[in-house]
Amino acid sequence: MSILIKKQIEYRLTVGNESKDKIVVTPILSSKQIGPASIDVRLGNQFIVFRRHMLGTFQPLDTSADLKKMQERQIIRFGKPFVLHPGMLALGSTFEYIKIPSNLCCAVEGRSSWARLGLQIATATTVEPGFKGVLTLELSNVGTIPIELYPGVRIAQIIFFIAEAADAACYGETRKYSCPVGPEFSQIEKDEDSKFFKENH
């Protein structure tokens, strides 16, 4: 699988909107965000966190569970930190709006500078051809001290791969996470296998 290098990324960012090769990552605030084979993306200012005081256990296969009652959305002002404590999971998102053409897919990877502090930024890293919106990031602190995360910092990188024989339909409007504008609550209850295993439990 071929990875796009800087020259190819820059070309695809600048071609006209009508081109099937067009990549959209906006806004890019600094040319330093484009690396030898990736684009650095910044942290947005919306977060979804668990209301731990309301939880006993969470049953993902319970389609009647209202996940939004167990989680809450927080908006952090730019210049203020979001504190991620050890063992904590929070959903964040990229500051940038991203649109992937049908002949590419991409992977989201953490930046090593943050990883060395104990921050993991994504466990579901693949972005399918045709996706558009902001990317939800699963932020988890596997270190031993709280980490302050400031909206706007470069938090992750996206690496582009050529998608051989791309499906013209690709990531359509019927998918669960279509055109997100902030971190998305899990929609695991829409998985068909969840219903199957729950009914046959």
Residue 18, token pair as written in the block: 């009508």
Establish whether 18 is a catalytic residue: no
User: Domain extents for the chain?
Assistant: 6-199
Q: Name the catalytic one among 128, 138, 184, 189.
A: 138
| Residues contacting residue 18 through CB under 8 Å, at least 6 positions apart | none
179-194 burial, b at 16+ Cβ within 10 Å, e below that, comes to ebebbbebeebeeeee
What does the pLDDT read at residue 169?
A: 52
CB-based contact 149:103 (threshold 8 Å): no
Q: What does pTM read for this prediction? A: 0.78
Considering the four listed CATH numbers 3.40.50.2000, 3.90.1070.10, 2.70.40.10, 3.40.50.720, the one that applies to the domain covering 6-199 is 2.70.40.10
What does the pLDDT read at residue 125?
A: 80
Q: Average pLDDT for consecutive 10-residue bins of the chain (201 residues)?
A: 94 94 96 96 94 58 60 92 94 95 93 92 83 93 95 96 68 57 57 57 47
Q: What are phi and psi of 198, to 5 degrees?
A: -70, -45
Nearest Cα neighbor of 131 from 157, 107, 165 is 107
